[in-house]
Each structure stands twice: as structure tokens, then as C-alpha cells.
Structure 1
């Protein structure tokens, strides 16, 4: 007799039965109410993104180079003041504050990427390969952080909703969800998991071990891969061309 007890469909049926019976302590952590995740990882990533923005050449910034980073730090300070240690359930104002912070980082990096690509296509002088490569790497790394923040903020309604178990269906399928026997009982996705997802998507230009399930997740990953591919190809090609020029 074939043992099909480990098939994903049967595990999902068992989880549903556990949830219906009220035995929430047996269900995996990502399906039940848990404590909010520590804030340090997402805070560190945002600070890195702000620092990278300050290192960009002035011609690639949307406005005076200090304006957007200062606004981002102010918004980050408000979020930390409201929830200093953990990402706990927030009211709508704090939710919008967090989204506004990510939008500002996305706007600044998107503008820098668009300006850099336009300059390279139009043949604007980038005659110093190390500077070009460092600028392209700056934008690429910030792009990884930006999309990690979006994945983290939108998957199953965001960190607060995930903590409360409000959404039954996940937008991203992690390995630990498919094979809970290989994960500790208190495992649930946190920001570093989404950062890993963003990094692998930017390097492989496709999903690796985390699969997008919802349409918005697929479209967002496709957009990230496109931005990463265009940036890498144009920057590297231009740098090689400069090095080969007499």
C-alpha cells in the first residue's frame, strides 16, 4: 500500500481539521496567532537603503540628496516609537505610515534607476568604470531591499495580519509550509525570509525555492526581475565597453 500521508494535499486537510477542532496549539505557527516578529531586521534594512541613497551621485537623485532620506528617517522613527521592539498590530494610521515609508524608498530608487538607464542608453558620459559599477550596484542592492519590504508588507495582509492569522491563504509558498517536519514548530516567515526571496529573484531572475501563489506576487516578482536584469545588463555592458575602448 502506498503511503500518501506526506502529500501536500493531505497535510493541508489535516491543518484545516486541526483549525476547525480548535486545537490551535498543534497547527503550524504561520496559521495561528503568534507574537509579532522583532523589528531589528527590517529597521536595519531600511537604514542600509537610506545610507545607499545618500551615496548616489547628485545627478541621479529626485531632489536635493538629503530630502528623501530625512523624510524616510522621520517616518521610520515614528514606526519605532509606536512599536519599538516588535511589529505588533497597528492602527490604520501606522499602517499607512509604513506604506508611505516604503513608497518613498521605492520612488527614490526607481528614479535613480530610470535616470541611470536613460543616461546609458543616450550615451551620457560615464567614463569611470568603478564609479559606474558602484552606482549600479548601489541601485541593484537598494532594489533588493525595496522589493523585500513590499513582499514582507503585502504577504497575507502584512506582518500584523500574519501575526493574527487573519488570512488563510498565503501569497508566497515557503519550503517550511510544504514540509513542516523539517522546520521548528514555531517557524513562520519573517523579514529575513522575504529578503532572501528578493535577493534570489534578483540574481536568478526567477523563483527559486519560494513560489509566488497570488497574481500580484507573480507580477511583482516579474517586475523586480525585469528591473534587475536591465540594470545589470546595461551597467556591465557599458563598463566593459569603456574598459575595451582605446
Structure 2
């Protein structure tokens, strides 16, 4: 940790990050999970969304505006929430792939593309939250500047003369990272530095590739 104002913002103590961008992403994921066909959901369609709403409500109540608190209980609860969201998304991916490969009815091309697009978006959002929650120990620890070694090397970190002095990664940067990684199937302007970052980016790319290839191929074959 450093309070040296000559250092870039991401390497020193700064104002805590606002919670609402990540919370909004979680709410979008919960809505998408609820709207998926029940055959693609884990258990009753309402089960995971209800549990996830309860968890995020506790997190917001405990630390509503800016993410300042970093107790073990809140940290664990945040990771449990992301794990539940990822579990639901992973189950949907497996069920969709199983249905396509087995030749089950997955609806017409438009319905298939809509479902596949929703799962693809769930994949991007869930990994964006993972990246945001895990990079340098999470948003609270990043704000305190405790870890000087980033898990993700963003472009403004490598070219500080071309970025504002107060630049630091916020949720939108991690969302962009997850989107480009799932779209290009490789890192673009942000490099993974730690081994876990490389592993989790590879996993996101693999899931996105499977969804894109199978859904598009099935939809094209279903066209009249």
C-alpha cells in the first residue's frame, strides 16, 4: 500500500469503487436465468434466482454504496454468489449442448439464437464478475492498494503517459475484458499475468467457442 500521489492510482490508496455496476450485472444475470427455458435450468427455474437475490440483498445491505468492507464473511458471501451464478450458467451450457448433440427439439432458429445469445451473455457477465472480484484480491483491497502485482495488465498500466493519472480498473474494464475474450477467443488489449487469470480466461474462451459453434451451426441447419 502507498499514498504516494506520484504513483499511478491503481498502485496506491484510492476511493472505494461503487457497487452498482457489478450489482446491475448480477441482476441482469438473475433475470436471464429466470427467462431461460426450464429444461435448461438447474432445478425449478425460480430456485437459483431466489437464492441469488437473497445473497445480493445481504451484500448490498451490508455495504450499499461504495465497497469499503472486506470481512471474511462478506468476501465468502460474494464468492458464493458468483459461484451460484456460474453454476447456473454452466448447467445451462451443458444442457443446451446435450440437447443439440442428441438432436432434441430446441425450437426454431430464432428461438435457438435467442436462447444461445442469452447463455452467451450470461457467460460474459459471469466471467466479468469473476475477473472483477478476484483481481488483486477484489475491489476493496484494490482500493487500499494492498497488492502491487496485477493479475490483469490493462493497456493504461503499460502506457501511463497516455492515461489520466487517476486511472484505475473499474467494473466496466473487466466487462470489456470478458466480452473481448469471449468474442475474439483470445486476449486483446489486456494480458493475464497470473496463472489463475490465464486458466479462467481459457475456460471462458472454451465455453464461448462451444456455444458459438454449436448454436450457429444448429440454427443454420434449421433454416428452411
TM-score by length of 2: 0.97
CA distance in 1, matches of 2:25, 2:163: 25
Could you tell me which of 37, 40, 44 is aligned with 1:60? 40
Could you tell me which of 110, 117, 127 is aligned with 2:90? 110
The question of whether the paired residues in 2 share the 8 Å contact of 1:129 and 1:239 is answered with yes
Q: Tell which structure's C-alpha radius of gyration is larger.
A: 1
Change (3 A) 1:69 1:23: closer
CA distance in 2, matches of 1:23, 1:149: 27
Q: Which residue of the partner structure matches residue 141 of structure 1?
A: 121
Could you tell me which of 169, 181, 185 is aligned with 2:165? 185
Change (3 A) 1:128 1:177: same
1:1-246 superposed matches below 5 A: 24-244=4-224
CA distance in 2, matches of 1:151, 1:46: 13
TM-score by length of 1: 0.89
Range moving further from structure 2, 194-203 or 127-136:
127-136
The question of whether the paired residues in 2 share the 8 Å contact of 1:89 and 1:161 is answered with no
CA distance in 2, matches of 1:53, 1:91: 29
Change (3 A) 1:23 1:151: closer
Change (3 A) 1:23 1:92: closer
The question of whether the paired residues in 1 share the 8 Å contact of 2:17 and 2:140 is answered with no
Secondary structure of 2:223's aligned partner: helix
CA distance in 2, matches of 1:23, 1:81: 30
Which one scores higher on RCO, CA 8 angstroms, separation ≥ 6? Answer: 2
CA distance in 2, matches of 1:80, 1:161: 18
The question of whether the paired residues in 2 share the 8 Å contact of 1:127 and 1:242 is answered with no
Structure 2, unmatched stretches of 5+, are: none
CA distance in 2, matches of 1:214, 1:121: 35
CA distance in 2, matches of 1:30, 1:177: 8
- Deviation of 1:92 after TM superposition, in Å, equals 0.4
Report the RMSD for the aligned CA atoms in angstroms.
1.2
